[in-house]
Amino acid sequence: MDFSAIFQLRTKKYWWLDVIFYFVISMLIATVLCYIIFIVKNVMQRKEIAETEFQLASVGTTEQRSNEKEVLSYQKKISDFSKLFKNHEFASNAFVFMEKQTMPNVWFKQFNLDRENAEIQLTGESDDMESFSRQVAGFEKNEYVSDVDLLNSNLGQSARVEFNLNLGLDQKIFNYISDSQNVSSETEPTEETTEQVQE
């Protein structure tokens, strides 16, 4: 085996190897310099932020600062209450909707409300398969229901059809109570109209 070619590579110098070597060294030095500059800038900005926060904390009288804290606490309470109110609104609308859309021969034993996905998971039973299919068809035709998924249905021990349903609700469900109240208030006669009729 001829080892002369290997020895020639060791002894012979190639100019492009020097270029690559110096390029890699310069990139390494540039990376270290950038990292040091970044750390220095970060420290300086943190100092500026701390000074600005100190200046803001010293602005105003003690009464104004206490009022500001009180306002911030009220804002937090309002945001917490708004989340509760939205959950309550969805639950109220969903229950009123289910009350009006449930067929006479169908009972729901369990509700799971999912406000984020606007879904209702239902577990219930009906007198017979015809009542159950009418209930599902009613949900499918309803404008407030976007999707109906039948998870399972079977004949229970009491000769009733037991079922599990998932209802995907449209975002219009959040206006359901107000819409139904507007309709009922329009149809109900007011005191003025009843007095006019009596005259």
Range of the domain at 158: 88-187
Map residue 107 onto helix, strand or coil. strand
Q: Convert the pLDDT of each residue in 106-159 to its tens digit.
A: 888 888 888 777 788 888 888 888 888 888 888 888 888 888 887 777 776 777
3-state helix, strand, coil in the chain (%, to 5): 65, 20, 15
In a domain, 171, yes or no: yes
In a domain, 198, yes or no: no
Domain at 133, CATH number: 3.30.1360.100
The structural domain count of the chain equals 1
In a domain, 108, yes or no: yes
Q: What is the pTM of this model?
A: 0.46
In a domain, 61, yes or no: no
In a domain, 55, yes or no: no
Q: Convert the pLDDT of each residue in 81-106 to its tens digit.
A: 777 666 666 677 778 888 888 888 88
Q: Indicate the average pLDDT of the chain.
A: 76
Dist. CA 59–CA 116, nearest whole Å: 42
